[in-house]
Chain A
Amino acid sequence: MASKAGNRNGTVTNEESFEALFSAEYGRVAGIANRVLADPHEAEDVAQEVFIDFNRLHSASAPYAAAWLYRAAAHKALNRVRGRRRREKRELSQATDEGAHTMDPQHMLEVSEDRRQIRQALARLAPKPATVLVLRASGLSYAEVAQSLGVGIGQIGTLLRRAEAALRKEVTRGTSF
């Protein structure tokens, strides 16, 4: 959450609050996006868009700031997976390039293909189960996930269980997940 910073008069401007919020939460917000996209560059694009949207619409000192950012990052990243086909080609291309240096190319292609199928299956889930999976996998506590989703903490276990079962079902339609 944002830390307080003061100007010469000892008061905190929204600009200072936003910078503090950004410093505190950017890594986590980008991490959430990366969890969905498995692409660091695109994840940072998403994270920056999320902060820009937030700054346009809300006060940086809003008590819901972090929860808003987490959820928005998950949604925006999931939307990118849903909306992009060219990403598939780039992933395969990247996998081939990177594989030449680090791993067996065939294995890298398989890893990339698995990752692509899992992300697409994730994006086919309804928004709430997809988001709960992403936020929990990104290391958010049950309380943080609950706050981001606007639900009670007692619901998170059930939501996670259903979401995990749904994702496995979605993925196993086409793979040996």
Chain B
Amino acid sequence: MAHLSDGTLRRKFDDAGSMTESENRHYTACADCQARYATLAEDAQAVAGALAVPDLKVDVASAFSRVRTAPAQPRFGIRLPIVRPASRPVMGVLAASAVVLALVVTGIAQGLFFHPQSVQVVQVSVADLQSLNGLGGFGTLTWTTQPTPQLVTSAAEAASVSGLHVPAVGNLPSGVSSNVTYAAMPAAVGVFTFDAAKAAATAAKAGKTLPAMPSGMDGSKLTVTVGPAVVEIFGNLNLPTGTGTTTGAAPDPSQLTLPQLVVGESSAPVVTSSGVTTQQLEDYLLSLPGVSPQLAAAIRAVKDPSTTLPIPIPIEYATSTNVTVQGVTGVAVGDNTGLGAGVIWIKSGTVYGVAGTLKQDAILNIANGLK
């Protein structure tokens, strides 16, 4: 008989009667398994002692009263458990990094810079996100067509505003409210202009020295088209909710209520370039202070950067896997705990995303059932 697994031995520590008769016979005769058991039992005892705390005495009635009288929270927004530890600063840079990372990756592409047809994960650390956030100091973004996201009253109106077919969700899982709020946005166009003087000034403020911009990069422009887009938000967003802490902390406007389910659709972003060559841009951006060798390697590893949308995943807080959704490869984030999961994919030049406080299986079912 093979040696007993660590799991079997560990369970024996908690429940001496958990092993089968044959496992017991093996254990009695096997000095190796006995030695392993002694080691893991010592670890288990040490950890149990380390995590011991005095018994907690609670007043359930008072606690329930506090929960019921908790102040209301703002109605819209995001509170993802998987990124909660990072709090506001990281949420901010996460959003910014998605745009900047796209710009960085587009530097590798040729001709028409960037028109993604598929998605790929780029794992980033919090430090990477913070360094990417700083890239905004290397130029100026101006909108030639401002993004104008707006709440609308129906799917038909969302379709009218965006010009997109609004995806219909099939069967909602039990527990998800059928109340739906629609938002829509027409296409927006922004121009990012590299500015050597601004970059130098930003770096000087941070006490850093930058490598010189390649010839022709100063003043060169990236034109980014995002949207149009539609978003469907499922949940009782009008319900008052609260933070409800015994310390009486004021509600934090940045900590907004997470809808149960969000379904989004957007035309894939398109980026074009004038002036700078793609290799110059890549080499320059990836050589900047704060861009870790790991991040640079991850970006260089993107196989077909001109047609791949990078999805920045903070490795400390979220896991991701490739999945097949609607017949194409997508990226799923989160897990099967129900705390939070999402999936994003590109099909026929359109980016789709489904996310919510559901198990990953449920999210994938919804994604595959979109019509």
Contact = CB atoms under 8 A, between A and B. Distances in A.
A105 B245 CA distance: 31
B258 A57 contact: yes
Contacts of B246: 41, 44-45, 48
A30 B66 CA distance: 14
Contact of A23 (B60, B85, B247): B60
Contact of A26 (B5, B43, B58): B58
30 contacts: A22-B60, A22-B63, A22-B67, A23-B60, A26-B60, A34-B53, A40-B56, A47-B58, A48-B246, A52-B244, A56-B239, A57-B235, A58-B175, A68-B338, A79-B84, A79-B85, A83-B87, A118-B51, A122-B51, A137-B47, A137-B51, A142-B11, A150-B335, A156-B11, A157-B6, A160-B7, A161-B10, A161-B43, A164-B47, A168-B43
B241 A31 contact: no
Nearest to B52: A137
Question: Which 10 A-B pairs have CB atoms at the shortest separation, nearest pair first?
Answer: A157-B7, A158-B7, A79-B85, A150-B336, A157-B11, A157-B10, A161-B10, A137-B51, A161-B6, A45-B245
Contacts of B260: 57
Contacts of A137: 47-48, 51-52
B21 interface: no
Interface of B: 5-11, 14, 40, 43-44, 46-48, 50-53, 56-58, 60, 63-64, 66-67, 70, 79, 81, 84-85, 87, 174-175, 235-236, 239, 241-247, 257-258, 260, 317, 335-339, 357, 359
B8 A157 contact: yes
Given A22-B67, A30-B58, A57-B258, A156 B7 contact: yes
A107 interface: no
Contacts, number: 154
B67 A30 contact: no
B87 A148 contact: no
A95 interface: no
A94 B44 CA distance: 29
Interface residues of A, number: 64
Given A58-B175, A164-B43, A68 B339 contact: yes
Interface in A133-147: 133-134, 137, 142
Given A62-B175, A161-B7, A133 B47 contact: yes
Interface in A47-79: 47-49, 51-53, 55-59, 62, 64, 67-68, 71-72, 75-76, 78-79
Nearest to A39: B53
B50 A118 contact: yes
A149 interface: yes
Contact of A177 (B9, B50, B64, B242): B50
Contacts of A114: 50
A82 interface: yes
Interface of A: 19, 22-23, 26-27, 30-31, 34-35, 38, 40-41, 43-45, 47-49, 51-53, 55-59, 62, 64, 67-68, 71-72, 75-76, 78-79, 82-83, 114, 118, 122, 127, 133-134, 137, 142, 148-150, 154-162, 164-165, 167-168, 171, 177
A52 to B, nearest CB: 5
Given A26-B60, A58-B175, A59-B175, A158 B10 contact: yes
A30 to B, nearest CB: 5
A53 to B, nearest CB: 8
A74 B43 CA distance: 21
Contacts of B245: 45, 48-49
Contacts of A59: 174-175
Contacts of A44: 58, 63, 246
Contacts of B67: 22, 48, 51-52, 55
Contacts of B9: 157, 161
A75 B60 contact: no
A102 to B, nearest CB: 12
Nearest to B361: A150
Contact of A160 (B44, B174, B337): B44
A26 B61 CA distance: 10
A75 B335 CA distance: 14
Given A45-B245, A79-B85, A164-B47, 7 more contacts: A30-B56, A51-B244, A75-B81, A83-B85, A157-B9, A158-B10, A160-B44
